[in-house]
Chain A
Amino acid sequence: MTLFWILACVTIPAALTVILHRNPVYSALALVFTLFQVAIMFVALDAHLIAFLQIIIYAGAIVVLILFAIMLLSLEPEEPGDGRSSLRAAGWGAAALLGLELVAIAAVFPDTPAAEKPLPEGYGSVAKIAERLFTTHLLPFELTSVLLLVAVVGAVVMARRRTGP
């Protein structure tokens, strides 16, 4: 439980840095840090395999791509305060609403949290997850490859159009 509170105290400021920092490179690095924290949460939740996938794919690949894009465009830090005002207001409004909702939930929070079932034998082990993935969820797994194929072809076509054939 101590781990949870430490994680919460570190993750929320990091996530806020992602959305509030003016320099997108800082945002990206804060995102990496947040993803790392989420990976630690996964470890705490007995999802060890997922935790490492999170770091390999998200932190190690997706954010690298985002950093490449930021650097390809050599962006200037954004001037603050000139976003669309209507959306800004809506955003802060939504955030305030959610804050209220969380307070409300906390007020009616059950004193005795849901009982924790004992976890089945080998919960979260690679073999068990792989078994589910390659038997029950085989079709989504195969479709994943099609999605990735479409994505890579689409991205290459668009990115190349920039420089011409």
Chain B
Amino acid sequence: MEVLISLAKVIFAFVIVLQLTLVLLWVERKGSALIQDRVGANRANLFGGLLPFNLGIVNTWMADPLKLFHKEDIVPADADRFLHWLAPWIAIFPLFVTFTVIPFGDVLIAGGYTINLQGADLNLGILYVLAMLSMAVYGVIVGGWASNSRYAFLGGVRGSAQMVSYEIAMGLSLVSVVLTFGTLDFQEIARAQGDLLFGVFPAWGFFYQPLALLIFFIAGMAESKRAPFDLPEAESELVAGFYTEYSGSKQSVFMMADFVEVAIVAGLVTTLFFGGWQVPWLYRDGFHFPGGFHVFVPSLLVTVLQVLSFLVKLFLFCWLQILIRWSLPRLRYDQLMDLGWKRLLPLSLANVAITAVFVLLFDGKTVW
């Protein structure tokens, strides 16, 4: 039974990320159309226009992957066939498994079981996420190399240098979060954010660590290699960067990896800085509004509300990343490396030092 529950949780977490990436594909098309004041994807329809409204989401949710998976798989003659196959696999696998440790709800008490709503409740969650994100760089570098094409290779080397540069800033910004909460466990961090500041505001992470949030968000966007950090796949300079020589499902896997990364960054930002599954003032037995006002909510509904809250926050931060992507111009490569090494790295080191002093002076919690 325990094994089945675990399996169900793992599958649920995986389905969240899989569906989210597919929906994001559609949101990105419609969203970019909205930002650029054009119509966007509006052709494919589930019931052929029988419905009064357009189920445009079906276009990318179902039709797009099906179409891409039926394209011809072209491997350049000079390429290394095995590595050419392996690269997209390495690009997406570590990202898929990352989402397993992000909690999507508090404990669910049902049928005599207390189920922790988290794919795998590792107590070293943050280190696990860093480890898996550090593996994703191989997909880029191997993909560029295996194609045996100059554009692809240059894209791959650029991409891997960019990813490793921003990994440092990302890791350091999370160190200050760990300093604040004193644990590496995502579920504990999410629970700690259920407290109240001044008895009014929910004690979400961004009150304690606004700078870490900023650094983490920038570094996370750079890791996902999307505009304004899309140097490795800069269309106007490098064709399509490290995946120039890819077609069909392999190419769509690379594209999907970017979206999974967007989802992971959104998930981490939600969990570490915006309370994860916390709904403000909602506790196990219902809402406790500031001022002593109490509304009873049944336990099961509380869990449902928490999972919904997590999904809504997750989606909002994905949307924010898409908005940024379509609003900002691409950085130059020197600006990109400057930002990573000369701005974010010293800034995040300073943030760790400040946080450490604050923790010692005020225990980090009573700063406000």
Across the interface, name the chain A residue whose C-beta is closest to B153. Answer: A71
Across the interface, name the chain A residue whose C-beta is closest to B131. Answer: A55
Which of chain A's residues have a CB closer than 8 A to the CB of B127? 49, 52-53, 56
Across the interface, name the chain B residue whose C-beta is closest to A39. Answer: B131
Which of chain A's residues have a CB closer than 8 A to the CB of B153? 71
**B145 lies within 8 A of chain A by Cβ:** yes
Give complex CA distance A60, B129 in Å. Answer: 12
Give complex CA distance A71, B128 in Å. Answer: 28
Give complex CA distance A59, B134 in Å. Answer: 8
Query: Contacts A52-B124, A71-B145, A126-B124 known; A25 to B134 CB distance under 8 Å?
Result: no
Across the interface, name the chain B residue whose C-beta is closest to A125. Answer: B123
A56 close to B141 (CB less than 8 A): no
B138 close to A32 (CB less than 8 A): yes
In the assembled complex, the CB of B187 is this many whole angstroms from the nearest CB of chain A, namely 15
Give complex CA distance A64, B159 in Å. Answer: 12
**B222 lies within 8 A of chain A by Cβ:** no
Give complex CA distance A64, B168 in Å. Answer: 14
**A38 lies within 8 A of chain B by Cβ:** no
A60 close to B142 (CB less than 8 A): no
A67-83 contacts to B (CB < 8 Å): 67-68, 71
Which secondary structure dominates where chain A touches chain B?
Answer: helix
Give complex CA distance A60, B80 in Å. Answer: 23
Query: Contacts A25-B83, A52-B128, A71-B157 known; A60 to B141 CB distance under 8 Å?
Result: no
User: Of the candidates B80, B83, B132, B160, which one forms a contact with A64 in the assembled complex, judged by CB atoms under 8 Å apart?
Assistant: B160
CB-CB contacts of B76-118 with A at 8 A, as 1s and 0s?
A: 0000100100100000000000000000000000000000000
Question: How many A residues have CB within 8 A of the partner chain?
Answer: 20
CB-CB contacts of B134-157 with A at 8 A, as 1s and 0s?
A: 110110011001000000010001
Give complex CA distance A61, B135 in Å. Answer: 9
Which of chain A's residues have a CB closer than 8 A to the CB of B167? 60
Give complex CA distance A55, B94 in Å. Answer: 12
A67 close to B141 (CB less than 8 A): yes
In the assembled complex, the CB of B51 is this many whole angstroms from the nearest CB of chain A, namely 49
Question: How many B residues have CB within 8 A of the partner chain?
Answer: 23
**B221 lies within 8 A of chain A by Cβ:** no
Give complex CA distance A25, B153 in Å. Answer: 14
Give complex CA distance A23, B86 in Å. Answer: 15
Query: Contacts A25-B145, A29-B86, A126-B184 known; A60 to B124 CB distance under 8 Å?
Result: no
Across the interface, name the chain B residue whose C-beta is closest to A36. Answer: B135
A48 close to B124 (CB less than 8 A): yes
Give complex CA distance A123, B184 in Å. Answer: 17
Which of chain A's residues have a CB closer than 8 A to the CB of B145? 25, 71
Across the interface, name the chain A residue whose C-beta is closest to B132. Answer: A55
B135 close to A59 (CB less than 8 A): yes
A55 close to B134 (CB less than 8 A): yes
Give complex CA distance A49, B164 in Å. Answer: 21
Across the interface, name the chain A residue whose C-beta is closest to B164. Answer: A64
Which of chain A's residues have a CB closer than 8 A to the CB of B160? 64, 68
Which of chain A's residues have a CB closer than 8 A to the CB of B134? 55-56, 59-61
Which residues of B line the A interface, CB within 8 A? 80, 83, 86, 123-124, 127-128, 130-132, 134-135, 137-138, 141-142, 145, 153, 157, 160, 164, 167, 184
Q: Known pairs A61-B134, A71-B157; list 16 more (Cβ under 8 Å).
A: A25-B145, A32-B135, A48-B124, A49-B127, A52-B127, A52-B130, A53-B127, A55-B132, A55-B135, A56-B127, A59-B135, A60-B135, A61-B164, A64-B137, A67-B138, A68-B160
Lowest 6 CB-CB distances: which A-B pairs, in order? A60-B134, A55-B131, A52-B127, A56-B131, A52-B131, A56-B134
